[in-house]
Chain A
């Protein structure tokens, strides 16, 4: 059974990872969270559930995604061997579809007719809209107004998939506010609706169930790297928003003490000033927000701080509780990449390896670019490319000040 896997870094029965995690939810949501937890506990032991999940991953999502040896980049950086786990090849273009399929199966078991989701980059929203279409749920996606503007293609696709996209107009109008809006919807419609939360954050059991679904990423990598190298990697690198792609890659290696893990946070315009970045481990402090205890970027009174990142998916002031715990335990290290480093990494990856990755994932690439040259050639580094870059065409073109693209947009505007 794939979900029957344990590490000493797992939560207690109530979803506490050391000091972090828990279920700090209003009483009106507790029954729904208990229902979800019970549904998952049953499903976890159910062979049929597992088969159904794996079958969907295989025949619908496109798993396993390839693990690609990056020959050119390895040569260029002249250090450790680099492998890319290409999650961008999943249907909908990112790892998010994996926990969406898992949760959709749970929603079906719980007889829910409607799902709601929050989204930042729109990748989780598209994946949620996709499973809604496939399973016949009605679907509402909350997305901050700022993100609606910067990830417009995904808004359009969600609508084509039949979802209703509601721009969130309060707060910082980004991912955290979308989570808030979704929680309010859930409070209102809790009997009919499943909240398909999109990362390893929020009240228990979300951090645990999303981790378990995403852990197939690490499971696949383990098999793939054994096949190509005959051994485990030395380093795992992933970008960290809420943490689903990172813990997805890390989880199955947690018991392998020699495998080092590095999470790369969004350094934005630099980590010196709160408001310029989304690097929780530089300037963040312990807090309890959106249903869980973890490290948050916040002011001295506990109000969440504004964040900035070129990538909408990492532009979030909180971090998954288990990752905060792994950091505290010294099991995972965290670093950051600035917007500029991220764009450089994005370009380098495209030109050397022929992969256009999401700006979120480019943070992991940037982390690798810094680390790899410091390592000897017999070391192996696996980098998680959590998504592909199609959705970021407007942001990248603008950041690179591409003149031909600007002319194209102008001509389109003119046509309209």
Chain B
């Protein structure tokens, strides 16, 4: 069974929201990156979303974009990223989701990428810029499934019912729901519109929903209880690191984790 499924069962049993903590691999450098990720794990992150830095990350806001630039400058690349994941793997049992823009995977070779990821027990891949329509020629989703790596579909509030249905055919594990119109790291308000949108996704895609983009506060997470199954936190972690280093990241994740407890997962 894919580790994502196991985790989802556990969340349901414990009746709480899942927490996905995001990090840019190699930010600010290899060593520190490993430290950051370890603190995400030790403070209770349920999943890790590890982003392979890319030169032109269209869906990312300033914080993650800058982090990608710094990581690339410090020598991060796909091989190094796998190396880092390998180092983590020795210590960790949390499901790992890789996040990459499609060109990173395409250039590495889809099969080679999936095989490598599988060897490192990666459970899912999040690729924001490959819609199902391109799958016919690219065979990325098919290939990742051959290796039992879940292709996590990303949808947005602008996704029509038709779009959700198209994505549903390829979705596994959970659905990554972008919370609002915007890039990563921009503010999110939990309101009716968001609630209705998440209900729509759940109904059509029949999978747990994870909400991300612009989450940074315990209040937001509190408000998502009963509405979402999983919360994803990205830019806010980097901001906390930039402000107060690993220590601040630790206490930030700890407090987020606390707010995920109790009557979460629906």
Taking Cβ atoms with an 8 Å cutoff, the residues of A that contact B are 14, 16, 19, 22-28, 30-32, 170-171, 176-177, 180, 183-184, 187-191, 285-291, 296, 298-304
Contact = CB atoms under 8 A, between A and B. Distances in A.
A27 B159 contact: yes
A183 B178 contact: no
A189 B186 CA distance: 13
B163 interface: yes
A183 B58 contact: yes
Contact of B55 (A27, A171, A183, A189): A171
A180 B56 contact: yes
B9 to A, nearest CB: 27
B129 A190 contact: no
Given A31-B160, A302-B108, A171 B133 contact: no
Given A27-B163, A184-B183, A298-B107, A303 B131 contact: no
B205 to A, nearest CB: 12
B80 to A, nearest CB: 9
Nearest to B54: A303
B137 interface: yes
Contacts of B182: 187-188
Nearest to B158: A31
Nearest to A15: B133
B224 interface: no
Contacts of B72: 303
A299 B107 CA distance: 9
17 contacts: A24-B129, A26-B59, A26-B129, A28-B156, A30-B158, A31-B158, A31-B159, A170-B65, A183-B58, A187-B58, A187-B59, A187-B181, A285-B107, A290-B58, A301-B77, A301-B104, A303-B54
Nearest to B164: A27
Given A24-B129, A170-B66, 17 more contacts: A14-B133, A27-B167, A27-B178, A28-B156, A171-B69, A180-B56, A187-B183, A188-B182, A188-B186, A190-B158, A287-B103, A287-B106, A301-B78, A301-B104, A302-B101, A302-B108, A304-B56
Contacts of A26: 58-59, 128-129, 154, 156
A302 B107 contact: yes
Contacts of B218: none
A14 B69 CA distance: 33
B40 interface: no
Interface in B149-179: 153-160, 163, 167, 178
A377 B91 CA distance: 75
A188 B181 contact: yes
Contacts of A298: 103, 107
Given A188-B181, A303-B72, A25 B54 contact: no
B134 interface: yes
Contacts of B86: none
Contacts of A189: 181
Interface residues of B, number: 43
A369 B59 CA distance: 43
B129 A291 contact: yes
B163 A31 contact: yes
B158 A28 contact: yes
A188 B183 contact: yes
Contacts of A30: 131, 158-159, 163
A288 B59 CA distance: 14
A191 B54 contact: no
Contacts of A296: 103
What 7 A-B pairs come out closest when comparing CB atoms?
A302-B107, A303-B55, A28-B156, A302-B103, A301-B77, A188-B182, A31-B158
Nearest to B186: A188
Nearest to A24: B129
Nearest to B159: A27
A27 B178 CA distance: 9
Contacts of B54: 302-303
A25 B183 contact: no
B103 A289 contact: yes
B266 interface: no
Given A24-B102, A26-B128, A32 B58 contact: no
Nearest to A19: B137
A71 B173 CA distance: 69
A23 B134 contact: yes
Interface string B37-63: 000000000000000001110110110
A170 B58 contact: no
Contacts of B134: 22-24
Nearest to A300: B107
A296 B78 CA distance: 18
Interface string B186-200: 100000000000000
Contacts of B120: none
A228 B75 CA distance: 59
A190 B181 contact: yes
A184 B156 contact: no
Given A31-B158, A170-B69, A190-B158, A287 B107 contact: yes
Contacts of B108: 301-302
B130 interface: yes
Contacts of A180: 56, 58
Contact of A288 (B106, B153, B155, B167): B106
A11 to B, nearest CB: 13
A253 B66 CA distance: 45
A170 B186 CA distance: 17
A27 B107 contact: no
Contacts of A19: 137
Interface in B114-136: 128-131, 133-134
Contacts of B155: 27
A184 B61 contact: yes
A288 B181 contact: no
A302 B104 contact: yes
A288 B159 contact: no
Given A188-B181, A298-B103, A24 B55 contact: no
A191 B181 CA distance: 9
